[in-house]
Structure 1
């Protein structure tokens, strides 16, 4: 196996360059068959093939309404007995046209749209969109707004990874984990509800800052979270990490090396599970991540167990960040005081006709953004989440595209599942942790 040197943030990393497996056209793990052909051949042996060894293979449709596909994901599997030889992910069952819809919405309305993409971690899409708009406007939000954004995103990372622990355990037969994971996630969602008024799809991070300031008593609520969650993560270690049956279901299942992950553009826990130390919070810092101390968790074997362990320990690192934010949170404004971008305080609308008109214009006409194009990326729980915006100088985006990590990471599935059993396919899908709202958009 050859290797090459890759430069990342001034550091040289030796990376295995054996990515032939994912670059093959002939003999690939990707099943190249149309959806209609797969439907007609489902349950039947393949007879029309140039390779006699493939005559005993069968096509099986898994999903799009299967509980283990984490949404409306359809998988076309080519099986040799119970072994998956080739597969094809089929998407589009949840397509809502959000990127096209963005062209009809003003920048002030944009967060309401993008927050519904990754519904397990909506604040990250709001953040990427807001940072992109602010870069086009060439404005900087107040320090308090930056730290509030960082606090809310890390809490959202915790809630997303807790949801993964719940569903991953359920997929593998650890039914009690579904109860425990949701129990801890509920504590975080209660905090979100106090701050934003909503448990999900918050529309909280907006161009210019955040919608409202943190509520009275937020410090006590955070300290309560910091007291509750860590000991329960230790319980997860007892229930799952050291459990022999759990280890056998995940260790060595769905393995990927660094070069293969890079060739497939995988990011987040999938890339880090191969041992590649890449996290945008460290390597391309945004917000105030360069002012807090935390570790980037990496794996060794690139398998499903490493991806599980990375997410579990990332919760601990996010709790470290939250604890530091609690002490470092600055005072001041929670949004920029620019009347062309931010609406007046709610209380003034009842007192001033000018404030009412100002509020009306912001939310109907919106604010104009200088012409240009920009790409901004943040580290979501699933990897690099990017927002590409093109402005023509009007109050609506000319074009918006979201680089959804779930969409990109899904293309690793055929390579991760090849040679494994159908039961292993369930474990592999769970380890990818896809959110179909972000895939289809």
Structure 2
């Protein structure tokens, strides 16, 4: 018998019986990758023997760009990380700046931020969970919940004028007060989405086909997840109840009553269940925050930012009519405001894990160094381990369940 040569050019010993494996490029243009990244799979039939990930297809050097921008101009960069829940990226950056600058925000700002961040979490989770349905062959659930992602985007649009990459808020608060229409749309969402979410869960949770596709696919133990640096729903699905909102509260999260859903096996099915349970908890948090906002006095209801003229752009009508406002506007826009020296790391609970900003300031006008802790980049390191010895079809749904966002992965 002649030697058998693998695609990896490994020569088998004489007399041994071997198989030829095949190589498959899953991405970077394959629609099932849901983003621009490449996976070179070595297959024995349809079983995955090994995998190699390639990143960097949309690397945009965000961290270096930030070193040439004043703090407030970094906000649009953060939009382009996890663009399925960009308000969390925006507000996380503003909280980081506020910690460096020593700014304390009014309670109403905290509550409004919580509402927006939890809406963003729901928008992100409903995309991830419904896409898992699509990747297992069920399209109906995706179409159904997308109507309510659209309603969330309408709320964003009413608050800041943008939808996907929102650039929402400013250092110290929001650029404008919430309108009555924004609250009306919020009330509509709170009234209608619970019924829709329940029906969505009924479509999938006990669906035999969906369960067989997900249960046992891409499992990871709590120990391995921690070793990789998993956070967010992917870590909680493995049984670890770590949530930044609980362990290091920010934006007054310590005032809200909610639970942290956890799984046991860390497989695709547990990740699906955890995200669905988190949407229920987010609705619970939003209702509490909205109740606090509604019960504020008339004077408090007009507050939507901290009193920090050196970092917060004045109203345009004031710029045209008041000298002091014109001076502050000029100094902020032209980057004349120096920021204090300091070094800090600030994490928030992003929709797909701990999103952290490591900021170093040398006392200049821009960050000296800025690093984004991107949860997707960390999950992707474990992808080979999660899909090895599985089937080719599992590679797709495991990728969906991890909620890998290419914009955040590459940064």
Q: TM-score range by the shorter chain?
A: over 0.9
Count matched residues: 398
* Contact 1:141 1:336 (8 Å CA) reproduced: yes
Counterpart of 1:368 in structure 2 is 338
Counterpart of 1:422 in structure 2 is 392
Counterpart of 1:119 in structure 2 is 83
Match of 1:48 among 10, 13, 16: 10
Counterpart of 2:282 in structure 1 is 318
Given the alignment of the two structures, is residue 399 of structure 1 paired with residue 362 of structure 2, yes or no? no
Q: Deviations over 1:131-185 (max 9, x none)?
A: 2211111121121111111111001001111111232211111011221121121
Residue 71 of structure 2 aligns to a residue whose secondary structure is: coil
Counterpart of 1:383 in structure 2 is 353
Give the structure-2-normalised TM-score: 0.93
Counterpart of 1:33 in structure 2 is none
Residue 319 of structure 1 aligns to a residue whose secondary structure is: helix
Q: Deviations over 1:295-350 (max 9, x none)?
A: 10111111100101111111111000010111112425211112111111222123
125-134 or 99-108: which moved more?
Answer: 125-134
Match of 1:94 among 50, 54, 58: 58
Match of 1:133 among 78, 94, 97: 97
Distance 1:345 1:50, change over 3 A: farther
**CA positional deviation for 1:438:** 0.6
48-57 or 101-110: which moved more?
Answer: 48-57
**CA positional deviation for 1:53:** 7.5
Q: Deviations over 1:217-242 (max 9, x none)?
A: 43332221111100011111221111
Counterpart of 2:318 in structure 1 is 348
Q: Deviations over 1:191-234 (max 9, x none)?
A: 11111111121112322222222112433322211111000111
Counterpart of 1:265 in structure 2 is 229
354-363 or 249-258: which moved more?
Answer: 354-363
RMSD over equivalenced CA pairs, Å: 1.6
Counterpart of 2:215 in structure 1 is 251
Given the alignment of the two structures, is residue 337 of structure 1 paired with residue 307 of structure 2, yes or no? yes
The separation in 2 between residues aligned to 1:50 and 1:114, in whole angstroms, is 50
Counterpart of 1:186 in structure 2 is 150
The separation in 2 between residues aligned to 1:234 and 1:432, in whole angstroms, is 22
73-82 or 323-332: which moved more?
Answer: 323-332
Q: Deviations over 1:85-125 (max 9, x none)?
A: 21111110011111110011111211122222211111122
**CA positional deviation for 1:50:** 6.2
User: Tell me, which stretches of 5 or more residues in structure 1 are unaligned?
Assistant: 1-43
**CA positional deviation for 1:360:** 2.4
* Contact 1:82 1:422 (8 Å CA) reproduced: yes
Given the alignment of the two structures, is residue 213 of structure 1 paired with residue 183 of structure 2, yes or no? no
Match of 1:170 among 134, 137, 141: 134
The separation in 2 between residues aligned to 1:400 and 1:86, in whole angstroms, is 35
146-155 or 109-118: which moved more?
Answer: 109-118
Structure 1 runs of 4+ with >3 Å offset: 44-47, 49-55
Counterpart of 1:108 in structure 2 is 72
The separation in 2 between residues aligned to 1:321 and 1:54, in whole angstroms, is 57
Q: Deviations over 1:354-381 (max 9, x none)?
A: 4233212212225221111110000011
* Contact 2:160 2:169 (8 Å CA) reproduced: no
The separation in 2 between residues aligned to 1:270 and 1:103, in whole angstroms, is 31
Residue 375 of structure 1 aligns to a residue whose secondary structure is: strand
Distance 1:422 1:357, change over 3 A: same
* Contact 1:46 1:54 (8 Å CA) reproduced: no
Q: Deviations over 1:225-269 (max 9, x none)?
A: 111100011111221111110100001111111001001111111
**CA positional deviation for 1:352:** 2.6
Match of 1:198 among 162, 167, 172: 162
* Contact 1:114 1:129 (8 Å CA) reproduced: yes
